[in-house]
Amino acid sequence: MDNFIFNNYTPKGFCREYVEIKGNSSQLAMFMATVLGIKPLMDDWINAGRLKEFRKVCKQYGLKIREDVLFDSVPKSDLPVNILGRDFITTTSAYGYPVGSRQDIGVHVFISKNEALLKEGMWYPVIIKNRVIFQPRIDSLKYGYTLGYPECCIKFFRKFNNWLKYSYLYEVYSNTKGRPSFLCNPFLKDTSFSYIYHMPCSYDCKATVRLTSRLRTEIKRREPGYVDLVDGYLKKSFLAFYERKIYCFDGSLRNNEIKYKRFQFTTYTKKEYEDEYSGYFKQADTVKLLGRNIILSRGGKVIRQLELKWSSFAPEFPFMIQFS
């Protein structure tokens, strides 16, 4: 059983320079959305040694840029236990340094056509000496509006974005009443193949569909090959546990069972403690979900059954979904 890989995408023309400067195409659709004026503000990480070149690219596309802080990212598991606030870090763990002090790591930047909006950018938690410095809560609550997210999604995020209490992706799943739309698929937002970078309030959110449809149409006019790839990936089958543990399957979903030819763990910072199941999935061609039990089969024969354990942090409520 071979994996498939979410390769980088280099545009033929539109925003090609963005990918060449970064060395990868993560957040390509978000940069395109900002260039097109559909997204009011975005943030990104650019290698400090290429910041001057990136400024030229932004100017070329009519964008303004503001630097925030240097990020030296490290796995949370590698952080010393004496760092104050360590246990409250969720997806981003990094030491922060002043811009200009190093050239070998990434600098967090804000990008917008509106220079005034650059001041509204919110910093991410960073470790200064032995303490995690968190952003003010009011900034977190209003930041979604600055990024151009739908109001219904912002309100839902405010309610359920609690990693100690909720499995956010499952809450979105439970709030979905209609057929899941690929235009509301957030599972690949950390790859090159996603039209959104926010968590929708449902996988059939009408406001998200309107926003994404507009962006998709404008990108297709300029880079149709990219849209074809994004559409194809977003319409695949997924098994989600929580935000850091999602698997994408090249196969069909029926009755909580996915028959597949290939699969891929989607989280970009792949660690053994996150990717628990790839080794098992490689041995099978069918995965079935029964409550908190994962049943693996090959050639119609059950080969293994896995029981999902409970976690006190980032509780996992597994579910299967295929977007149309």
Domain boundaries of the chain, sorted by first residue: 238-322
Backbone angles phi, psi at 27, to 5 degrees: 70, 20
Which residue did the predictor score with more confidence, 170 or 163? 170
Confidence of residue 272 (pLDDT cuts 50, 70, 90): low
**Mean pLDDT, residues 218-242 taken together:** 97
**How many Cβ atoms from other residues are within 10 Å of residue 232's Cβ?**
12
53-57, 84-88, 176-180, 302-306: segment of lowest average pLDDT: 84-88
Confidence of residue 268 (pLDDT cuts 50, 70, 90): low
pLDDT, residue 10, reads 96
- Give CA–CA dist 314/165, Å, rounded: 7
pLDDT, residue 84, reads 79
- Give CA–CA dist 249/260, Å, rounded: 6
- pTM attached to this predicted model: 0.90
pLDDT, residue 263, reads 95
pLDDT, residue 96, reads 83
Q: Which of 204, 182, 206, 203 is nearest to 194 (CA)?
A: 182
CB environment 41-76: b (16+ within 10 A), e (fewer): bbbbbbbbebbeebbebbeebebbbebbbbbeeeee
CB environment 87-100: b (16+ within 10 A), e (fewer): eebeeebbbbbeee
Residue 302 has pLDDT above 90, yes or no: yes
Residue 316 has pLDDT above 80, yes or no: yes
Confidence of residue 35 (pLDDT cuts 50, 70, 90): very high
**How many Cβ atoms from other residues are within 10 Å of residue 153's Cβ?**
23
- Give CA–CA dist 297/289, Å, rounded: 12
Share of the chain above pLDDT 90, in %: 69
Token representation of residue 257: 């069972």
Token representation of residue 206: 């009408």
- Give CA–CA dist 107/42, Å, rounded: 14
